[in-house]
Amino acid sequence: MKKTIATISLLAIPLCLAITISGCSKADKDSSPSASTPESTSDTFMFGETPVKFSFYGNYDWYTMQPWGEDPASKWIKENKKVTVTPVPAQGASVQKFNTMVASGDLPDVLWMDRGPLVEKLRQAGKLVPLDDYLNKYPNLKKYAGEETLNMLRADDGKLYQFPNWYTSTPMGNGGYMINKKIYKELGSPKLETFEDLYSYLKLVKLKAPGVVPLDIGYGTQGISVLYSGFGEDHTSAYTSYGFVPSGNELKSIFADSVFKETIMYASKLFREKLITQDALTQTKDQVVEKLNTGKVAVYASYDTADLGSQATVTLKQTDPDAGYQMIWPLHKEGVDPNKVYPNNYDTIGWNVNVITTSAKNPEGIFAYLDWLTGEEGQRIIFWGPEGLYWKGTEKDGAPIWTEKFKTDVEERTKFMAITDSFQWAGNTSFIDLSKSSNNMKLPEGQRDWAAEAQLTIAWKTSYNTTQFSNLTPDPATTEGKTLQKVADIETSVIAKGLYGGSDVEVEKIIADGENSANKAGYEKLLQYETQKWQENLKRIKKN
């Protein structure tokens, strides 16, 4: 999950217009779910026996579906579950493709897309099939996602139209801090728990380890957000992405947040003393990876720590078995409870969603497949292939038991998983993550996957549930949507300028000027809008 300062793509505006225009036709009104729901096949349909065929469109420029039935996983599904999927390619132009399909009324059976205004426009135009009638007959989604998550996905009419992908019932995340083990040991392994400890250690690195970056904060402003989480209890790093901080029953300005101010001042101090990499806001991911893989970073803080730390440790150990990185418990300000520091956050409703359109002849069959896919058997097969390929038998919790081939056939397994990644439309994060952890912790310590162990022991334990703040993003064509884009740009500028600030006084002025600019752009009204949506979310959650 990829977190940056919140931004909204203006490319979505013509799509919203197309949907609005399309929704005004008589045909659209007649196809409204309330007027005419697609014919049910409940009396005759049997999943696994009755063939299911549907067209599928992924609304992303980067997405290309692999040929269905040509890999071991989709071939098994095609033969054993009688499911055939026909891709509708975006060909690198998802905006234009989606716009054309909506305007012409020629929609595929399933749209795989981001939650938000576009889904709502489709619903209002009567183009989506409600899923409520299928929830009890096919129970996996209800079982694994839970009522709270499903309530958060419901539309204003109370119905469920969205089938979530990579939802979770357990914490997740990759962010936090890691240290270069060899450098840390050579410098005496000093205490490293508070920001004062970090400052002292970074000065020691600068003095004793020339050529090494004392603290690297990754690319963009990710590392600043990780620092932010340690300056206040229950101040998840996600607040810097949202651009607000909850206070009582309201969402307040990030610029007025004392934790935000303290974070920028601390980061600026480190930057002035050259304790942070000096190209922090301009370096690319490839440049960060190069430094980590060559052991040129003493401390690293970002959202992708578990991922990059794993890669770098494997690389370094090829020439030095004692080299590598170690993830550590998140650092904190003196007086802040270390067990209330959250550099990671997770959203139970997941990444994106599937919606079944009124073009589908067999919506029940499509739902049945997605529901099977999100269950234990479906997840095992789409992620690790049919039984006998990379796993044999299961644990009591349904986790697959990996075979020796899983451990030894890394190259072919990696290729296989790259293919089936394009078929993972109903990901069950909790099941997959716990399955990986279950297998990983059985291995001898030296053979365990570095990232999996870092996630299980630290990253997931320091992840904050931010589901209540989901679905607050306004339509980009509205006044609030345009204000959000402006405020996000202002916040990014404040962080960048603050990092380069020459003194604490200058940093304070930069933040104050940023807040004034944001208020002129309509920030207060945006916060009111977001507060209202947040309160609606809380009511939805309490329905459970």
> How would residue 541 be classed by pLDDT, with cut points 50, 70 and 90?
confident
Could you tell me which of 526, 532, 534, 371 has the C-alpha nearest to residue 467? 534
- List, as one string, the DSSP characters of 290-334: HHHHTT-EEEEEETTHHHHHHHHHHHHHTT-TT--EEEEPPPB-T
Contact present, 263 and 202 (Cβ < 8 Å): no
CATH number of 176-342+472-544: 3.40.190.10
In this predicted structure, what is the pLDDT of residue 43?
67
The answer on pLDDT for 50 being more than 70 is yes
Instruction: Please indicate whether the domains covering 18-170+350-373 and 176-342+472-544 agree at the CATH topology level.
Output: yes
User: Looking at the predicted structure, is the pLDDT value of residue 15 above 60?
Assistant: no
Least confident of 49-53, 234-238, 475-479: 475-479
Model confidence at 86: pLDDT above 80: yes
What pLDDT is recorded for position 5? Answer: 34
Asked if pLDDT for residue 454 goes beyond 80, the answer is yes
Phi-psi region of 393 (alpha: psi -120 to 50; beta: other; left: phi over 0): left
Residues 6+ apart with CB under 8 A from 491: 5, 240, 243, 254, 255, 514, 518
Q: Which residue has the tokens 């630290």?
A: 458
> What is the pLDDT averaged over residues 180-204?
98
Tell me the per-residue pLDDT of 262-292, one tens digit each, with 9 for 90 and over.
999 999 999 999 999 999 889 998 999 999 9
**CA proximity to 82, closest of 54, 108, 105, 49:** 49
pLDDT digits (tens, 9 = 90+) for 339-361: 999 999 999 999 999 999 999 99
Q: How far is CA 255 from CA 98, 487, 531, in A?
A: 37, 11, 17
Q: For 157-173, what is the mean pLDDT?
A: 94
For domain 18-170+350-373, the CATH class is alpha beta
What are the domain boundaries of the chain?
18-170+350-373, 176-342+472-544
- Overall average pLDDT of the 486-508 stretch: 96
pLDDT-based confidence at 542, cuts 50/70/90?
confident
Q: What is the average per-residue pLDDT within 96-109?
A: 95
The 8-class DSSP code of residue 46 comes to: -
Residues 6+ apart with CB under 8 A from 499: 224, 264, 267, 268, 271, 276, 280, 281
Q: 402: helix, coil or strand?
A: strand
Are the C-beta atoms of 494 and 255 separated by less than 8 Å? yes
CB 161 within 8 A of CB 131: yes
Element (H, E) at 456: none
Above 80 in pLDDT, residue 28?
A: no
3 state SS of 30: helix
pLDDT of residue 494: 97
Answer yes or no: are the C-beta atoms of 162 and 115 closer than 8 Å. yes
Q: Please tell me the distance from the alpha carbon of residue 423 to that of residue 382, in angstroms, as a whole number.
A: 7
Rounded mean pLDDT of the chain?
90
**Angstrom distance (rounded) from CA 229 to CA 237:** 5
pLDDT for position 20: 45
Vertex 429: Cα angle to 423 and 435 (nearest 5): 100
Q: Taking the chain, what is the end-to-end CA distance rounded to the nearest angstrom?
A: 27
Q: Measure Cα distances from 340 to 105, 226, 432, 538 in Å.
A: 50, 13, 26, 22
Mean local confidence (pLDDT), 428-454: 85
Cα–Cα distance between 167 and 346 in angstroms, integer? 9
Say if residue 410's pLDDT is above 80: no
Q: CA-based diameter of the chain, in Å? A: 76
| pLDDT band at 42; cut points 50, 70, 90 | low
